[in-house]
Amino acid sequence: MKKLLIALVVAGMSVNAMAQTEEYPVRKHSVETNSFWSNWFVSLGGGVQVMPVDRGENGVDLFETLTPNFSVSLGKWFTPGLGLRLQSHFPFYKNELGEQNKAYALYGEAMFNLTNMFCGYKQDRLYNAVPYIGFGRLWGNVQGWTPWTVGYLSTFRLTDSWSIDLDLFVKQYNIVSVVSGNRNWQAGASLGLSWHIGGRGFDASPDMPALTAMHAAQLASLNEALSAEQNENKNLKEQLAKKPKEVIKEKVVKEVLTAPQSVFFAFNSAKIASKKEIINLEALANMAKNNGAKLKVTGYADSATGSAAYNQQLSERRAQAVAKELVKLGVAEESIIVEGKGGVAEVKPASYNRRAIIEAL
C-alpha cells in the first residue's frame, strides 16, 4: 500500500508541475494576456536638440540652434511587441532671429519592440530595439498640432524594475519659416531612466499539443505503475485474508491513516483542473467515512512569486477547493480541518509548492 501511495504522489507531481516554470513546452512567439496593471513604466530623460535655421543663400545652420530638452513619460506594454506612451516634452529652441524660447509639448506615441517581435520574447534580455511614431500638440510662444514625431528608443536592462533609455527622435512642427516658408522640424537625442511599475514581463504561452502529448505519456506510465501495484496489492490481500479479521482491520487502517495525499495547482490558481488531479481522494474519503477519521487539508503557495499576504489567501483557497471535493465524495464537513500555510519553498522546482496536502488524523 505504501508503495502505491508513493508512486501516486510522485506521478502526480510530474504530471501537475505547471505554469511559471521552464519544465513544460512553451510557444516561442506567444504569451499569455497580462492584467491591466502590469507592465507600466515611468521615464525621465534629458538631452539636446537642433532646429535647422534656413539662412537663405547661406544654407541651413544646425548647430547654431543647439538647445537642451527634458521629458517625462508614462507608458504601458500591452504585448511584448506593442506599447503606448504619453510623453511630456519640454524643449528650448531658437528662432530665425536667434531668440531663445521655451515650449511645452505633449505626445501620444505607439512603440514597437522589434527585438521581441522578431527574436521571441525574453524578459531578461539586455537590449531591446524600439522604434516609435506619434503626434502631439505644442504650447508656448507658438501653439499648434505637431503633424508627427518618429524616433528610435534603445533600452538597456539594469534590473527587473529599472532600465536605461537612449532616445533618438525627429519632430515636425506647424511653425512656418519666414525665410523659406517651410515647416520647421527638430532632431535630437535624450538619455533617460525608466522605472517599471508593478508586475513586469509576460508569461509564456504553453504549447498545448506538446503538453498534451507529454501528459499522455506520463499518464500511460502511471497506469502501468498502478497496474503493477494493483497486482501486488491483490497478492497482499490474499495473504492478509488468511490472518484473523481484527489483525487485517488494524493493519489496513494504520497504513492508510499515515499516507498523506497531494493535489497540485496551476500558477495563481485555486481551481482543480480535473478528476485526474485528485485520483486518490476517493479512496481517502471512503477510509474517512468508514473509520470515522478526520481529514486535515493544508494549502500551500509558491513563495518565489507574489506577496506574503496574497500567498496566504491563495493557500487557503486551495485548501478550501480540496475540502469541497471531499465533501462531494461524502466526507462530513465537520470532519475536515482546513488550513493555509501561505508561500513556501520546501521543494524544487517551485511549481511543486503549489499544492494542497490531505492527511488523516
- With H, G, I as helix, E, B as strand and everything else as coil, classify residue 178: coil
In tens, the pLDDT along 180-235 reads 555 677 889 999 999 998 767 787 666 666 667 666 666 776 777 777 777 888 88
- How far apart (Å, rounded) are the C-alpha atoms in residues 338 and 327? 12
* CATH number assigned to the domain with residue range 2-25+207-360, chosen from the 4 options 3.30.530.20, 3.30.1330.60, 3.40.50.620, 3.10.105.10: 3.30.1330.60
Under a CB-based contact definition with an 8 Å cutoff, are residues 146 and 107 in contact? yes
The partner residues of 183 in beta bridges, in order of sequence, read: 176
Q: What is the pLDDT of residue 13?
A: 43
Please indicate whether the domains covering 2-25+207-360 and 28-197 agree at the CATH topology level. no
Share of residues in the chain with pLDDT > 90 (%): 25
Q: Which amino acid is at 78?
A: F
Give the CA radius of gyration of the chain.
Answer: 32
In this predicted model, what pLDDT tens digit does every residue of 272-326 receive, in sequence order? 866 676 777 787 888 888 888 888 899 999 888 888 899 999 999 999 998 998 8
Q: How confident is the model at residue 8 (pLDDT cuts 50, 70, 90)?
A: very low
Distances in Å between the Cα of 9 and the Cα atoms of 211, 278, 349 are: 20, 10, 15
Closest CA to 50 of 135, 192, 175, 169: 169
Domain ranges of the chain: 2-25+207-360, 28-197
Q: What CATH number belongs to 28-197?
A: 2.40.160.20
Q: What is the pTM of this model?
A: 0.50
Cα separation, 18 vs 271, whole angstroms: 13
SS3 of 221, please?
Answer: helix
Asked whether 289 and 331 are in contact (CB, 8 A), the reply is: yes
Residue 51 CA from chain centroid, whole number: 43
Look at the block and give the residue holding cell 466526507.
Answer: 331
Does residue 171 surpass a pLDDT of 90? no
* pLDDT in the model for residue 18: 38
Say if CB 96 and CB 178 are below 8 A apart: yes
